[in-house]
Amino acid sequence: MRLTIHRGTREIGGSCVELASGATRIVLDLGMPLPGPKKTNITKESPLSPSDLIASGLLPNIRGLYAWDNPGVDAVFLSHAHRDHYGLAGFIHPRIPVYLSAGTRALMELNEIFMAEPPVLSEKRLLADRERLEVGDFAITPYLVDHSAPDAMALLVEAGGKRLFYSGDLRGHGRKRGSFERILHNPPRNIDCLLLEGTALGRSQGVEESRPDFPDEQSVEEELVSLLSAKTNLALMLCSSQNLDRLVSAYRAVLRTNSLMVIDLYTAFVLQALSPLSPRLPQYHWRGMRIKYWKNHAEKLAGSGHQDFLYAANKHKIKMPELIARRAEILMLTRSAGLFPLITRSLPDYNGLKIVWSMWRGYLTGEEPVSKFCRKNNLEINFVHTSGHAPLKDLKRLAEALQPHKTIPIHTGFPHLYRDFFPNVHCLEDGEELSI
Ligand SMILES: [Zn+2]
């Protein structure tokens, strides 16, 4: 088996791995690089030609993968629905099948509607936990993992008598922590090579050390309960609508405090689309849940043929006058950019207003609307978040369970730190081929 990490050996984001055995070639993840000083986001309106996209380093240089090539890659596997793992999938040749979990497929289709992402035209084939499948010389077994994206998969890849385990992104402290423990208790054996994510490595330096994240999702729920128990105005929580664990924590805290949870149409639609994943996933028509309509969301749903959803959800709508009248009992979820100022401008006063930041702290730059608003109005930001990624202690437990002959850093800004914590570390450069 020949391994090339095209991107990810020394950065978080834009992950892409190519594996070849005999005449078969497969690709694991095709992520968008995270925005940075030297990087440009690619959009469907990108003016760059195919060769420019590759020459600039935005698209990994993989022969036979893209729509303008003759297809030469046998399959692409997407570990989960975070853009830094699938964000370039719209460039895949339509004749190359894409393997992904049902949850990943549902979220990618939602993003096509709401974020206007370019559609993936390939045939989508579903991965299921521990159901082995074959592609040419390869056998691939997905392992369901706990991550902030639902239905995320790690991948065991076998070819030519060698076995590689790709962690994707994972953790052991969310609501799916059981899946992490299952891998530890019954790990795949004889792993030659572990591609191990290390997002959390090195993050303990600096700001996050003085105000650390909560240790697990349950402690997030407990903190929300205590925030909701003593409030006199709206609690406005900023979180991703695709972090289902967080939506469950918010809903459970709302029930425990007899509060009311207000979500937007987009979040309501996400919850419905992902409902096959778990009967415990709260739905917009459940007790303690209401929907605030925003024009932009309603237009996108109507424009994509979801009038039935709009009609059904309408009965559960909450309008601004009721929202304001009942604000002391409401936990309202939103995201930062567009809606935050619309909501805060509608409030008659800010006394006792609680702002809850429930995402990665790094997104809070100090210059976005939330920071500016809180500074201007002398309001505290309540950080209530647990990471989507395993801390070092859990990465070590995973490596100890898998006992790989080689551990290769991926999805990390600090590959050189691996040698301090793991045996048999082999650091690669982006684009360097390794024969396993
Ligand atoms: Zn992720």
- Per-residue model confidence as pLDDT tens digits over 270-313: 999 999 999 999 999 999 999 999 999 999 999 999 999 999 99
Domain check: are 225 and 190 in the same one? no
Side-chain-side CA neighbours of 361 within 13 Å: the count stands at 19
The reported pTM is 0.94
CA 262 to ligand 1 centroid distance, Å? 26
Domain check: are 103 and 167 in the same one? yes
Contacts of 336 (CB under 8 A, 6+ apart): 238, 363, 368, 369, 370
CA 278 to ligand 1 centroid distance, Å? 20
CA 356 to ligand 1 centroid distance, Å? 22
Does 235 reside within a domain?
Answer: yes
CA 86 to ligand 1 centroid distance, Å? 10
415-422 average pLDDT score: 94
The pLDDT assigned to 99 comes to: 98
CA 205 to ligand 1 centroid distance, Å? 21
The pLDDT assigned to 97 comes to: 98
Please choose, from the candidates 242, 305, 285, the residue with its C-alpha nearest in 3D space to the C-alpha of residue 80.
Answer: 242
What CATH number corresponds to the domain at position 277?
3.40.50.10710
Domain check: are 321 and 406 in the same one? no
Domain check: are 251 and 160 in the same one? no
CA 83 to ligand 1 centroid distance, Å? 8
CA 85 to ligand 1 centroid distance, Å? 7
Quick one: what percent of the chain has pLDDT higher than 70?
94
What CATH number corresponds to the domain at position 192?
3.60.15.10
CA 239 to ligand 1 centroid distance, Å? 15
CA 230 to ligand 1 centroid distance, Å? 34
Domain check: are 346 and 410 in the same one? no
Domain that holds residue 177: 2-204+388-435
Domain check: are 178 and 230 in the same one? no
Mean predicted lDDT score pLDDT of the chain: 93
Domain check: are 71 and 200 in the same one? yes
CA 80 to ligand 1 centroid distance, Å? 7
CA 326 to ligand 1 centroid distance, Å? 36
**β-bridge mates for residue 127, sequence order:** 101
CA 159 to ligand 1 centroid distance, Å? 26
CA 263 to ligand 1 centroid distance, Å? 23
Domain boundary among 383, 398, 427: 383
Label residue 159 by pLDDT band (50, 70, 90).
Answer: very high
Residues 420, 421, 424: CA angle, nearest 5 degrees? 90
CA 410 to ligand 1 centroid distance, Å? 12
**One-letter identity of residue 278:** S
41-57 average pLDDT score: 71
Contact between residue 145 and residue 176 where contact means Cβ atoms under 8 Å apart: yes
Domain check: are 272 and 182 in the same one? no
28-56 average pLDDT score: 72
Domain boundary among 383, 403, 423: 383
Please count the structural domains in the chain.
2
CA 260 to ligand 1 centroid distance, Å? 30
The pLDDT assigned to 105 comes to: 97
The pLDDT assigned to 213 comes to: 82
Q: Strand 75-77 and strand 98-101: pairing?
A: parallel
Residue 75, helix vs strand vs coil = strand
- CB count in 10 Å sphere of residue 204: 11
Domain check: are 165 and 302 in the same one? no
Among the ranges given (49-58, 110-119, 189-198), the one the predictor scored with the smallest mean pLDDT: 49-58
The pLDDT assigned to 208 comes to: 44
The pLDDT assigned to 43 comes to: 53
Label residue 38 by pLDDT band (50, 70, 90).
Answer: very low
The pLDDT assigned to 263 comes to: 97
Domain check: are 167 and 52 in the same one? yes
The pLDDT assigned to 71 comes to: 96
pLDDT above 60: residue 37: no
CA 400 to ligand 1 centroid distance, Å? 22
Does 169 reside within a domain?
Answer: yes
The pLDDT assigned to 120 comes to: 93
CA 13 to ligand 1 centroid distance, Å? 9
CA 378 to ligand 1 centroid distance, Å? 34
Domain check: are 288 and 142 in the same one? no
Domain boundary among 383, 402, 423: 383
Burial class (CB in 10 A: 0-12, 13-18, 19+), 338: exposed
Contact between residue 157 and residue 138 where contact means Cβ atoms under 8 Å apart: yes
CA 70 to ligand 1 centroid distance, Å? 30
CA 197 to ligand 1 centroid distance, Å? 10
Burial class (CB in 10 A: 0-12, 13-18, 19+), 370: buried
CA 8 to ligand 1 centroid distance, Å? 13
pLDDT, tens digit, 9 for 90 and up, residues 2-15? 999 999 999 999 99
Domain check: are 330 and 418 in the same one? no
Phi, psi of 98 (to 5 degrees): -115, 125
The residue with tokens 């505290």 is: 380
CA 82 to ligand 1 centroid distance, Å? 5
Does 209 reside within a domain?
Answer: no
Which helix (H) or strand (E) segment is 100 a member of? strand 98-101
pLDDT, tens digit, 9 for 90 and up, residues 98-150? 999 999 999 999 999 988 888 999 999 999 999 999 999 999 999 999 999 99
Quick one: what percent of the chain has pLDDT higher than 90?
85
pLDDT above 90: residue 157: yes
